[in-house]
């Protein structure tokens, strides 16, 4: 058991009833943590005003024996390290303990906090910082969705370098409080441990810990989330995962009130979407896939397994699937605040998004896309990124939706090029729209359009400037060349926004929409550009100019024709249709 730190506060309680109660509390915690084989334990001793409360929390990856030992050591050592004190928090590598005369149960506490860091500096701080952010975002998301508010994982940095991370909340607080506690800790990594290759943020209600070596036990990892370490295969683990991801049709049927119209959220390219409530209180969104999907049952299950392994704070989480007769359902977490287009293009709701919020949304989308491109088990190309495919959660965090759906339909295509163009006019890279070539760089293009739309409030494909209809990219390029980009700020933000961040966003947007795909940055570079203001941005070359004329559309149609096979599965997806905007994703093996 390795002692880390303690805080002992308040006047001495020597020879008082409080002191006597504290002693009883300590032996109770020591005994109960041993007897119950528990990782979390809460108890109180005495009556007000001498009542004392105690919370014990052990790490989720450790065995009951290790937790028991930690409880024994902590309750003994507290008497030596904090004699006569009544407000105490003590942290060990393996567990932590809180004692107080205040009601501490179910109340999230960020303070007192302790930064605990090490002397080794990392060799590439920018890269390390962005990979650490990636890892922490994933960990927080997994912890708040787990049963024990705990998560461990590791993250590739470069060559053989990895970062290992652990986050844990005390199990008495709610998921949203755990989220707040951990998110606050993630934001404190810079003051705590910037440029360091290891560190911890210790708080009464949660801990965050990272190292460049593996310091946790994987075997003890339990929780209701499938591992995301490897792609699906047919081993025993995946059979277990498949069982836990499969929803009973009756459950989904009653959760959505028999797929009632009142519960219908909308009709997308792949079928109708319904809101549902599970009996455990969780809200879900159920996508009822078009019945004439060509995908067989096994193929469908495999794809869902693969997609369910993708877990990231900025991706809409696929919780599972349901098969019944020819019904194929995908069950997602419910994201309450609708899609981004309903905010940025709405005359009233656009005012809800101040500059800071917009910047955070851009950073979140970049992180989600970076995960799909570089940090998930397979390279995943979204192919239809646009404001409608970004959903907003209760805190207005962005979540990318509809990644992977193309895999649930069998489409005639080869890797990296397709005879069927599926994407949305205005967001498609030119090489994709004209020649069917898609790659991570075609997603980067769509991301660039999205950035420009979020900060200017203008739609790329319905932009008008004065008399002449002009697309947003051409307009942004013109303003960039004339050094007048500030004129493009979303009008409701004019009085209050960061000019330097706005300029950077325009520059990043223009870098992403460059005509030459090879010159567009990767999403890891974009994430770095957004997180580090000291990073010097390259100078963009001219964007691909958007041809908004009938001739332009006809040219695309002539190049590709329409694909009857695809059209019969999801007719609205064919190029040239008036409502060509379903979301499609591709997954490629690395």
Ligand X SMILES: Nc1ncnc2c1ncn2[C@@H]1O[C@H](COP(=O)(O)OP(=O)(O)OP(=O)(O)O)[C@@H](O)[C@H]1O
Point out the residues that are catalytic. Answer: 384
Task: Answer for the pair 387, 339: CB distance below 8 angstroms, yes or no.
Answer: yes
What is the nearest approach in angstroms of ligand X to the Cβ of residue 401? 5
Task: Answer for the pair 370, 523: CB distance below 8 angstroms, yes or no.
Answer: yes
DSSP code string of 453-484: HHHH---GGG-EETTEE--HHHHHHHHHHTT-
Q: Could you give the CA distance from residue 89 to residue 85 in angstroms, rounded to a whole number? A: 11
How is residue 375 annotated by DSSP?
I
The residue among 288 and 367 lying less far from ligand X, judged by its C-beta, is 288
What is the nearest approach in angstroms of ligand X to the Cβ of residue 43? 40
Spatial CA neighbour of 369 closest among 134, 537, 132, 127: 134
Q: Is 287 marked as binding a ligand?
A: yes
What is the nearest approach in angstroms of ligand X to the Cβ of residue 349? 14
Partners of residue 231 on adjacent β-strands: none
Partners of residue 286 on adjacent β-strands: 274, 331
What is the nearest approach in angstroms of ligand X to the Cβ of residue 579? 7
The residue among 193 and 400 lying less far from ligand X, judged by its C-beta, is 400
DSSP code string of 293-314: ----HHHHHHHHHHHHT---TT
Strands (E) in 389-429, as ranges, are 390-392, 398-400, 413-414, 417-418
Q: Helix crossing, 523-531 with 355-370: angle to 10°? A: 150
Region of 458 please: left (phi>0), alpha (psi -120 to 50) or beta: beta
What is the nearest approach in angstroms of ligand X to the Cβ of residue 87? 43
What is the nearest approach in angstroms of ligand X to the Cβ of residue 317? 8
Task: Answer for the pair 200, 277: CB distance below 8 angstroms, yes or no.
Answer: no
The residue among 149 and 390 lying less far from ligand X, judged by its C-beta, is 390
Q: Could you give the CA distance from residue 315 to residue 399 in angstroms, rounded to a whole number? A: 4
- The residue at minimum Cβ distance from ligand X is 268
**Dihedral sign from CA coordinates of 471, 477, 478, 479:** positive
Residue ranges that bind ligand X, judged by CB under 6 A: 265-266, 268-270, 273, 285, 287, 316, 332, 334-335, 338-339, 388-389, 391, 401-402, 581-583
The residue among 150 and 334 lying less far from ligand X, judged by its C-beta, is 334
Partners of residue 207 on adjacent β-strands: 168, 202
Q: Could you give the CA distance from residue 556 to residue 546 in angstroms, rounded to a whole number? A: 12
How is residue 412 annotated by DSSP?
-
What is the nearest approach in angstroms of ligand X to the Cβ of residue 393? 9
Partners of residue 418 on adjacent β-strands: 413
Per DSSP, the chain holds a count of helices (H) and strands (E) of 17, 23
Q: Could you give the CA distance from residue 97 to residue 478 in angstroms, rounded to a whole number? A: 61
Task: Answer for the pair 382, 441: CB distance below 8 angstroms, yes or no.
Answer: no
Q: Which residues are annotated as a binding site for ATP?
A: 287
């Amino acid at each position: 058991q390795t002692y880390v730190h303690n805080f002992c506060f308040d006047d001495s309680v020597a020879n008082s009833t409080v002191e006597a109660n504290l002693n009883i509390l300590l032996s109770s915690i020591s005994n109960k943590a041993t007897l119950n084989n528990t990782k979390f334990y809460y108890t109180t001793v005495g009556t007000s005003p001498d009542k004392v409360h105690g919370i014990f929390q052990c790490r989720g990856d450790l065995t009951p024996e290790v937790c028991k030992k930690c409880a024994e050591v902590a309750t003994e050592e507290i008497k030596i390290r904090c004699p006569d004190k009544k407000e105490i928090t003590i942290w060990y590598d393996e567990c932590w303990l809180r004692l107080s005369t205040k009601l501490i149960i179910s109340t999230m506490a960020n303070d007192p906090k302790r930064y605990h860091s090490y002397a080794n500096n990392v060799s590439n701080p920018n890269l390390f910082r962005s990979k650490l952010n990636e890892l922490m975002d994933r960990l927080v998301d997994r912890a708040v969705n787990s049963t024990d508010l705990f998560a461990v994982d590791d993250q590739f940095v470069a060559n053989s370098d990895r970062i290992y991370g652990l986050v844990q909340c005390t199990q008495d607080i709610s998921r949203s409080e755990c989220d707040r506690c951990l998110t606050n800790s993630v934001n404190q990594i810079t003051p705590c441990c910037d440029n360091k290759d290891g560190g911890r943020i210790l708080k009464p209600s949660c801990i965050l810990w990272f190292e460049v070596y593996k310091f946790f036990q994987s075997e003890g990892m339990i929780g209701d989330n499938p591992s995301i370490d490897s792609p699906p295969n047919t081993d025993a683990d995946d059979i277990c995962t498949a069982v836990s991801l499969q929803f009973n049709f009756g459950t989904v049927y009653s959760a959505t009130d028999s797929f009632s119209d009142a519960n219908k959220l909308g009709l997308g390219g792949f079928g109708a979407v319904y809101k549902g409530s599970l009996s455990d209180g969780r809200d879900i969104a159920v996508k009822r896939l078009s019945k004439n999907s060509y995908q067989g049952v096994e193929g469908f299950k495999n794809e869902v397994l693969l997609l369910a392994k993708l877990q990231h704070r900025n991706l809409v989480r696929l919780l599972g699937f349901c098969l019944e007769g020819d019904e194929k359902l995908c069950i997602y977490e419910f994201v309450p605040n609708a899609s981004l287009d309903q905010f940025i293009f709405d005359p009233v709701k656009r005012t809800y998004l101040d500059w800071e919020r917009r910047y955070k949304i851009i950073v979140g989308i970049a992180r989600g896309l970076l995960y799909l491109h570089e940090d998930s088990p397979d390279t995943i190309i979204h192919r239809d990124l646009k404001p409608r495919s970004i959903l907003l959660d209760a805190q207005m965090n962005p979540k990318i939706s509809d990644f992977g759906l193309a895999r649930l339909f069998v489409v005639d295509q080869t890797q990296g090029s397709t005879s069927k163009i599926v994407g949305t006019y205005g967001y498609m890279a030119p090489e994709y729209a004209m020649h069917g070539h898609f790659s991570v760089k075609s997603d980067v293009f769509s991301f660039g359009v999205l950035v420009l739309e979020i900060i200017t409030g203008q739609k790329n494909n319905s932009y008008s400037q004065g008399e002449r209809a002009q697309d947003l990219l051409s307009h942004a390029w013109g303003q960039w060349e004339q050094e007048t980009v500030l004129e493009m700020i979303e009008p409701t933000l004019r009085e209050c926004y960061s000019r330097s961040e706005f300029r950077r966003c325009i520059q990043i947007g223009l870098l992403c929409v460059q005509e030459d795909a090879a010159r567009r940055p990767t999403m890891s570079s974009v994430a770095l550009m957004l997180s580090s203001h000291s990073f010097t941005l390259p100078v963009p070359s001219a964007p691909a100019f958007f041809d908004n004329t009938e001739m332009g559309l006809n040219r695309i149609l002539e190049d590709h024709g329409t694909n009857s096979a695809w059209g019969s599965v999801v007719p609205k997806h064919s190029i040239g249709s008036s409502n060509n905007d379903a979301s499609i994703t591709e997954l490629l093996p690395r």
